[in-house]
Structure 1
Amino acid sequence: MADKKTLLVIDGHSAAFRAFYALDPANFRTQEGQYTNAVFGFLRMLVKMLQEEQPDYLAVAFDVSRHSFRTDEYPEYKAGRKPTPPEFSGQVELIKEALAHLGITTLEQENIEADDILATLASRGSAAGIQVLVASGDRDTFQLSNEQVTVLYPSRSITDLKRMTPGAIEEKYGVPPHRYPEIAALVGEKADNLPGVPGVGEKTAASWINKYDGLEGVIAHAADIGGKRGGDLRSPGGC
Structure 2
Amino acid sequence: MGQTGDPQGAREVTDTLLLLDGNSLAYRAFFALPTSIVTSTGQITNAVYGFTSMLLKLLGEQKTDRVGVAFDIGAPTVRLAEYSEYKANRSETPGEFKGQMDLIREVLDVMEVPQFGVPGHEADDINATLARRAEAEGMDVILVTADRDYLQLVRPRVRVLFNRKGVSDYTLYDEAAVEERFGLPPAKLLDYAALRGDPSDNLPGVPGVGEKTAAQLIQQFGSIEELFEHLDDLPKRVQKLRPALEEHKEQVLLNKRLARLVDDLEIDIEPGDIQMGDWDEPELRRLFTALQFKTLLERITDLRPLLKPAQP
TM-score range, shorter chain: over 0.9
Measured in 2, the distance between the counterparts of 1:206 and 1:218 equals 12
Q: Does 1:230 align with 2:246?
A: no
Q: Which residue of 1 aligns with 2:16?
A: 6
Q: Which residue of 2 aligns with 1:23?
A: 33
TM-score, structure 1 normalization: 0.94
Residue by residue over 1:48-75, the C-alpha shift from the partner in whole angstroms, topping out at 9 and shown as x without a partner, is: 1001001241100000123320011111
Gaps of 5+ in 1: none
**Alpha carbons 1:223, 1:234 under 8 Å: kept:** no
Q: Percent identity?
A: 43
**Alpha carbons 1:18, 1:158 under 8 Å: kept:** yes
Measured in 2, the distance between the counterparts of 1:143 and 1:236 equals 23
Measured in 1, the distance between the counterparts of 2:102 and 2:232 equals 52
- SS at 2:96 equivalent: helix
Q: Does 1:86 align with 2:98?
A: no
C-alpha change, 1:56 and 1:30, in structure 2 (3 Å) is closer
Deviation at 1:96, TM superposition (A): 0.4
- SS at 2:160 equivalent: strand
Q: Which residue of 1 aligns with 2:184?
A: 175
Report which structure shows greater RCO (CA 8 Å, sep ≥6). Answer: 2
TM-score, structure 2 normalization: 0.73
Measured in 1, the distance between the counterparts of 2:206 and 2:32 equals 32
- The letter of the residue matching 1:228 is K
- SS at 1:168 equivalent: helix
Q: Which residue of 2 aligns with 1:155?
A: 164
Deviation at 1:160, TM superposition (A): 2.4
- The letter of the residue matching 2:222 is D
Gaps of 5+ in 2: 4-13, 253-312
Measured in 2, the distance between the counterparts of 1:231 and 1:223 equals 12
Q: Which residue of 1 aligns with 2:265?
A: none
Measured in 1, the distance between the counterparts of 2:52 and 2:139 equals 25
Deviation at 1:236, TM superposition (A): 4.7
Deviation at 1:33, TM superposition (A): 2.4
Residue by residue over 1:156-201, the C-alpha shift from the partner in whole angstroms, topping out at 9 and shown as x without a partner, is: 4322211011111111111100111111100000000011111101
Q: Which residue of 1 aligns with 2:137?
A: 128
Deviation at 1:223, TM superposition (A): 3.1
C-alpha change, 1:141 and 1:207, in structure 2 (3 Å) is same
Q: Does 1:57 align with 2:66?
A: yes
Q: Which residue of 2 aligns with 1:140?
A: 149
* Number of residue pairs the alignment of both structures matches: 237
Measured in 2, the distance between the counterparts of 1:204 and 1:75 equals 29
Q: Which residue of 2 aligns with 1:66?
A: 75
**Alpha carbons 2:59, 2:65 under 8 Å: kept:** no
Deviation at 1:12, TM superposition (A): 0.4
- The letter of the residue matching 2:25 is A
Q: Which residue of 2 aligns with 1:195?
A: 204
Q: Which residue of 2 aligns with 1:113?
A: 122
Deviation at 1:202, TM superposition (A): 1.5
Q: Which has the larger radius of gyration?
A: 2
